[in-house]
Amino acid sequence: MPLQKLIRKGKFTNLYLIREKNEKCALKVFKNQAIAQKEAFLWNLLYPEFPANLIEGHQLKRPWINAKPLMKVDRKKFYNENLLKEMLLTLFGQIENLHLAGYLHFDIKPEHILVDSSNKVYLIDFSNALPVSEISTEEKYPYPTCYAPQECIFHINKAIGPWSDIFMACMSILHWLTGESPVPNDNPVFSLHAQLNFQYRSNTMFSKKLNQIFEKALKQHIFFRPPHHYEKTEIEKFIIEAVNQRFATVSDFIEALNNCDYLLNRKNVQSDFFSFFKNLLKRR
């Protein structure tokens, strides 16, 4: 099988673009066969129209999807209410389907959200997906830096649930729509501290209802002292209290989105849109 181009080299997987019979395919090569099988199962669950096949147990071949990672997608195109709402509902619908199958994605970040030229969205990369029934209280599961909630960072596994995926997805959407990372990522130590104490603040781009949705989805405890000043039982208690204030399921989140008449503050979004073109003209 000809390997045409290495697209992404990772710690545990490599992604290649290959061509077979004049058709582009994605070939994902795993170091772990069990992870390859999990990826195949979850991919085919979400995207049966792009079937993935296991080769030799550790290679996954599927049709190539011509789509961009979220941060490379022009966010101003989605300042259209209908487009944005459809995109969010599709994305969270995919997350809900994973949850209904008994899995958490657990690695939602902008690189794992693709959007194609017809504005269709794809949640990808299920290498870190967790079977809910097998979550251990002792295991330290990897999480996406800058996008994960407190229960993941502190490894309070009894507090992990659908709300953890919702949190990561909302942080990713915030980063994309605003163009600014919710958590500074230039200094690892400062980033971790900022992530631990991240608190959502209303954004003038969004409608009042959408701000309320983000506020609920991103609820976290405020640690006024460095974490090492607290007992583990205290940290668990604080985090579980915060988690209980978030959306319990993706279905609840989707219901809140559907009840939102407007997602954007049209006045401020229009202002941002026109300032973009003014700056473009100035450069000329």
pLDDT digits (tens, 9 = 90+) for 171-184: 999 999 999 999 87
The per-residue pLDDT for range 82-109, each reduced to its tens digit, is 999 999 999 999 999 999 999 999 999 9
Q: Which residue has the higher pLDDT, 210 or 267?
A: 210
How far is the C-alpha of 183 from the C-alpha of 257, rounded, in Å? 24
Residues 6+ apart with CB under 8 A from 202: 211, 215
Cα 185 → chain centroid: 16
The per-residue pLDDT for range 182-193, each reduced to its tens digit, is 987 776 667 777
* Residue-averaged pLDDT of the chain: 91
Residues 6+ apart with CB under 8 A from 12: 30, 31, 32, 35, 127
The per-residue pLDDT for range 23-40, each reduced to its tens digit, is 899 999 999 999 999 999
User: 12 and 35 in contact (C-beta within 8 Å)?
Assistant: yes
Report residue 259 as tokens: 């009840």
Query: Can you say whether the dihedral through the CA atoms of 80, 83, 85, 87 is positive or negative?
Result: negative
266: enclosing H helix or E strand: helix 266-283
Closest among 218, 215, 213, 173 to 195, alpha carbons compared: 218
Whole-number percent of the chain with pLDDT over 70: 93
Domains in the chain with CATH codes: 5-64 (2.40.128.470), 68-268 (1.10.510.10)
Report residue 14 as tokens: 């490599």
